[in-house]
Amino acid sequence: MDNKMVNIYLFGKKYEVPDNLTIMTAMEYAGYQLKRGCGCRNGFCGACATIYRIAGQQELKMCLACQTKVEDNMYVATLPFFPLVKQIYDIEKVKPEQQLMMQLYPEIYACIGCNACTKACPQGLNTMQYIAYAQRGDFAKCAELSFDCVMCGICSSRCPAGISHPQVAMLARRLNGRYLEPESGHLEKRVKEIWNGDYQQAMKDLMSKSDDELKELYNNRVIEK
């Protein structure tokens, strides 16, 4: 398929690239051997935070380079690292209380409600709102709203209050998963049975079977509907 060529400006320098490329593949097309700013290449790892402006437009846009197609007259700067604050804690010793947020990430209470974080999030998350839930100590809601966060740090780069949103959300999710969500009875039970050695003999017996016997069992096993 023939593609149109467009002009993009990588760190201000002009390159002509096919218009079906992402910013990431366009950089490679232009001759950059990427080391930083490239991880999963598929929207999961948040390595490729990028800022761009289309010439003539006022708005500064933020995106993931691996997920965004090039456009004509795009001025691009990558943001492969952003200094976030990550506080240290012991998940076994902390309690899922508002107090904890106040201790570890007090700066979240300085949020001025500008919503710049939400506007910039490439995952379309309601970032300001999850920070609001964190302030209130509502970790379940903060976890729910922040679940799809790829920790790219774009929101933090826009925040006048210097908040490290993805780290706040990380804490909330771990507290939610550890303490607030219900325990799985069937899981606890199975782990006890295994530790008790309940399956040892049956597993030994199975392992001692010949491959022909195992094939027989495998090919005729009942598959749960």
Partner 1 sequence: MYPEKFQESIRKVEARRKENAAMEPVRMTADEKDALLKAYHPDYREDQFEKLKVGVNAGDKAPHELADMLQAHARVHEGDVDLEHPDFETDVLIIGGGGAGCSAANEADEAGAKVMICTKLRPGDANTMMAEGGIQAADKEGDSPMQHFLDAYGGGHFAAKKELVAKLVTEAPEDIQWLNRLGVEFDKTDDGTMITTHGGGTSRKRMHACRDYTGMEIMRTLRDEVLNRKIPILDFTAAIEIIKDEEGRASGAVFINMETDELIVVRAKAVILATGGAGRMHYQGFPTSNHYGATADGLVLGYRAGAKLLYEDTLQYHPTGAAYPEQIFGALVTEKVRSLGAKLVNCDGEVFVHPLETRDVEAAAIIRETGDRGKGVDTGHGKAVWLDSPMIDLINGEGTIEARIPAMYRMFEKRGIDMRKEPILVYPTLHYQNGGLEINTDCMTTVENLYAAGEVTGGVHGRNRLMGNSLLDVIVFGRDAGRAAGQKVKEVKSGKLTLAHVTAFEESIKEAGISTQKVSPKLLPNYLRDRNVYDGPKIQ
- Beginning with the edge strand found earlier in the chain, give each strand of the sheet holding 13-18 in spatial order: 13-18, 5-10, 74-78, 49-54, 61-64
The one of partner 1, ligand FES, ligand SF4, none whose footprint includes residue 64, by CB under 5 to 8 A per kind, is: ligand FES
The one of ligand SF4, ligand FES, partner 1, none whose footprint includes residue 222, by CB under 5 to 8 A per kind, is: partner 1
Residue carrying structure tokens 């016997």? 213
- What's the CA gap between 9 and 106, in Å, rounded? 39
Q: Which of 14, 36, 103, 110 binds partner 1 (CB under 8 A)?
A: 36
Residue 13 engages partner 1 in binding (rule: CB under 8 A): no
Nearer to ligand SF4 by C-beta: 73 or 157?
A: 157
Among the candidate windows 34-42, 113-121, 180-188, 197-205, which touches ligand FES by CB under 6 A? 34-42
Nearer to partner 1 by C-beta: 160 or 177?
A: 177
Residue 101 engages ligand SF4 in binding (rule: CB under 6 A): no
- What's the CA gap between 168 and 165, in Å, rounded? 5
Residue 165 engages ligand SF4 in binding (rule: CB under 6 A): yes
Minimum CB–partner distance for residue 5 and partner 1 (Å): 13
Instruction: Name 13's bridge partners.
Output: 10
Instruction: Return the closest-CA partner of residue 98 out of 168, 45, 161, 28.
Output: 168
Residue 223 engages ligand SF4 in binding (rule: CB under 6 A): no
Nearer to partner 1 by C-beta: 9 or 89?
A: 89
Q: Which of 21, 23, 27, 38 binds ligand FES (CB under 6 A)?
A: 38
Q: Where on the chain is the footprint of ligand SF4 (CB under 6 A)?
A: 46, 111-117, 120-121, 123, 125, 127-128, 131, 149-155, 158-161, 163, 165-166
Interface positions with ligand FES (CB under 6 A): 38-41, 43-48, 64, 66, 150
